[in-house]
Structure formats: structure tokens, C-alpha cells
Amino acid sequence: MNNSKDSSLRWWVLIFGVLLILSIAGIAVVMAVRNSVQQAQQAFAPVSDLSNSVGTQVAQLLHPTPTVIPDPVTIIQEVRSLARLETIQYSVEKVITAETGQGTFGFLFGDRLLFVAHGIVIAGVDLEDLRPEDLRLEDGVLYINMPEPEIFIATLDNEKSYVYDRNTGVLSRGDVNLETTARRAAEQEIANAAREDGILEMAGQNAERYLESLFLSLGYNDVIFIQPTPQAP
């Protein structure tokens, strides 16, 4: 009976020892594999970095970022005092088509672009044109000969303006000045569109309301605006 118990105990000890050895061996194998993976990653890291670097350089070559270097020298051409009363602002969008070399052989030598122009037009009254004889006071009533309203600024918003489409002929390199021409035309067309929509009339009305409120607050009984006489063409 004792021999049977001793034999069974030895078997359990043997099994436990085998399991322990297998566990230690498994841990050793896992550590070895982990070390091998880490060494492989370290070995291939320079290749991966080189690949990423080459990819970045290729991307920069295909899509270069423009570098802007302003000249440190600034030349001030003119300094002028202004007395402009800006009373209205328009935001205008206009589509401009600019083309050259169109016709029978346009598909060979032509150049055409569509330019979407977003612009700002500001109008008002130049108070510098208001002379002393244009103001007359009678019985507490102020009579004012108002200057004609005018457009002060008609310019493009470069952040919103863009070339929508451009088609060049098979044998054409494109006109380098075509976009510049389109931009100049766009500024003029934006000003014309605002003028046709009545920006000058609204600028004059806003100026009168502002000046009337100002002069009434100064104690005048009333303010009467005398409209400028239209000039003969």
C-alpha cells in the first residue's frame, strides 16, 4: 500500500516537473520571439524612415508650396489726407470669360479661362468736396449742397476669387497675362454691376441720413439737402 502511494506521488511530482519545465520553455520562446521582432523592427526602421522621407519629397515635388519673399525695402509714393464718408458696401460675384486665339484653329492655339470673381464695392461722399459756400444757414435751418456720391473702392477678394476652368489649345502654352486681364476686367465689371444696381443713389441717401442726424444733434432746427445739378454729358 505504501509502495503504491509512493509511486503515485512520484508520478505527480514527475508530471509537475514536466509542466514546470514546459512553462519555463514557453516563456523563453515568447521572450526570444519578442526580442526577434524588436530587432527586426529596429533593423527595418531606417528603411521605413527612408521610404517616408522619399514619399514626402515626392509629394513636395509634385505639389510644391510657394515661397513668398517680400522685398524689405518699402517705397511710399504718396501720402494724402482723406475726408471720405463711406456709407455703403456691396459684395458682388461675377463670372468672367477671358479668351484669346479663338476661331477656326482655336483647338490648336486658343486659350480660354473662366474666372469666378468675388469683389467688394464701397461708395459714399467725399466731404473734402464740401466747400464753405455749400453750407447756408437761414432761420436756424441748414441748407447743404451735397457733393455727388462716388465709388471709392472696387476691388477683388483674392481669398474667394479663383479660376474655375481653363482650356488651352494642343499647340498653345497659354497666355501668361490672361488671368491678369480677367482680374482687371472683373474689377471693372463688379463696379459696373454695383452702379447699375443703384449703389450711388443709396450711398447719397445714407450720407444724408447720417449728416442730418449729426447736424440736428448740434442744435440746428432742420437740415435741407440741395441735390447737385446733373452735369451735361
User: What range does the domain containing 35 cover?
Assistant: 1-64
**Residue 79 covered by a domain:** no
Indicate the number of domains in the chain.
2
In this prediction, residue 156 carries a pLDDT of: 94
As a whole number of angstroms, the distance between CA 34 and CA 56 comes to 31
Residues 112 and 35 reside in one and the same domain: no
- CB 136 within 8 Å of CB 143: yes
**Residue 72 covered by a domain:** no
**Residue 71 covered by a domain:** no
In this prediction, residue 167 carries a pLDDT of: 85
Q: What is the DSSP letter of 149?
A: P
- Positions in the chain short of pLDDT 70: 1-64, 105-107, 109, 170, 172, 228-233
In this prediction, residue 55 carries a pLDDT of: 57
In this prediction, residue 43 carries a pLDDT of: 56
Distance of CA 45 to the CA centre of its chain: 40
As a whole number of angstroms, the distance between CA 137 and CA 19 comes to 116
Residues 38 and 104 reside in one and the same domain: no
Residues 127 and 209 reside in one and the same domain: yes
In this prediction, residue 204 carries a pLDDT of: 93
**Residue 77 covered by a domain:** no
Residues 60 and 105 reside in one and the same domain: no
